[in-house]
Amino acid sequence: MAFFPSSGFHYGNVLSSGNTEKKNLTLTFDDGPEAATTPGILEILKKFKIRAAFFVIGKKIAGNEDLLKKLDSDGHIIGNHSWAHSNLWDFNSSVRIADDLERNIMEVERVTGKRMKLFRPPYGVINPMVAKAIDNTEVTVVAWSLRSFDTTAVNPVTLLDKIVKNAKPGDILLFHDSCALTAGILEKIIVSLQERGYVFIPLDEMLNLQAYETH
Ligand SMILES: [Zn+2]
């Protein structure tokens, strides 16, 4: 298990890749739901019958309820990516961070009726305050093993080449469904990786875990 590349703090329970030699990959998307770009990504995933995971920002859900419901009814996993993705998020106390996680859990539950268990910290930061909040809320932290850097990419062809060249069995790929460039290149990425023998499997299957609390 690797821990977050951007974190100087070692937190033990971070899942970032599948333990497999099979040519399996999992797609994950952060920072939505985004009315302008998420629907196009959903269409492509539907075309290829791929179930992905979306780590959503709580405050973006109001007004996008139908989009969140579609994520769920299309079979994708919904995970927690904090309420507001503030860049000062991890400077809060562990109590406030835990409240923030719960606020997003309740917002997703309001729309889908499901309580998220999976959490990906904004900016991938896990400092001691975040770690304490994670322990107190009993969320499961999911990172990634292959980061696309799609939000800062300028050339889609370079981005495509880099991902296809670096993908390896068990990888969890990080994209952003809020990124127009990603929506434009996703189909090519899927086709190129499938041509190389890769199969896309859902996050819960890759990590052998439950994405939601069971009542
Ligand atoms: Zn993010």
Query: What is the tens place of the pLDDT at every residue in 90-128?
Result: 889 999 999 999 999 999 999 999 999 999 999 888 999
Q: Is the pLDDT of residue 1 over 60?
A: no
Q: What is the pLDDT of residue 89?
A: 84
User: From ligand 1's centre to the CA of 19, what distance in Å?
Assistant: 25
Q: What is the pLDDT of residue 58?
A: 98
Q: Is the pLDDT of residue 24 over 70?
A: yes
Q: What is the pLDDT of residue 13?
A: 76
User: From ligand 1's centre to the CA of 124, what distance in Å?
Assistant: 8
The pTM is what?
0.93
Q: What are the extents of the domains in the chain? A: 14-207
User: From ligand 1's centre to the CA of 32, what distance in Å?
Assistant: 9
User: From ligand 1's centre to the CA of 63, what distance in Å?
Assistant: 20
Q: What is the pLDDT of residue 8?
A: 41
- Nearest of 68, 79, 110, 109 to residue 202 by alpha carbon: 79
Q: What is the pLDDT of residue 213?
A: 94
- Give 43-50's long-range contacts (Cβ < 8 A, gap of 24+): 44/183, 44/186, 44/187, 44/190, 45/74, 45/76, 45/186, 46/74, 47/187, 48/187, 48/190, 48/194, 48/200, 50/190, 50/200
Average pLDDT for residues 39-66, to the nearest whole number? 98
Q: What is the pLDDT of residue 125?
A: 86
Q: What is the pLDDT of residue 94?
A: 94
Q: Is the pLDDT of residue 11 over 70?
A: no
Q: Is the pLDDT of residue 6 over 50?
A: no
Average pLDDT for residues 188-192, to the nearest whole number? 97
Q: What is the pLDDT of residue 181?
A: 93
Catalytic residues: 30, 176
The residues, ordered by sequence, that sit 6+ positions from 127 with a Cβ below 8 Å of its Cβ are 7, 9, 90
DSSP state of 197: T
The CATH number of the domain covering residues in 14-207:
3.20.20.370
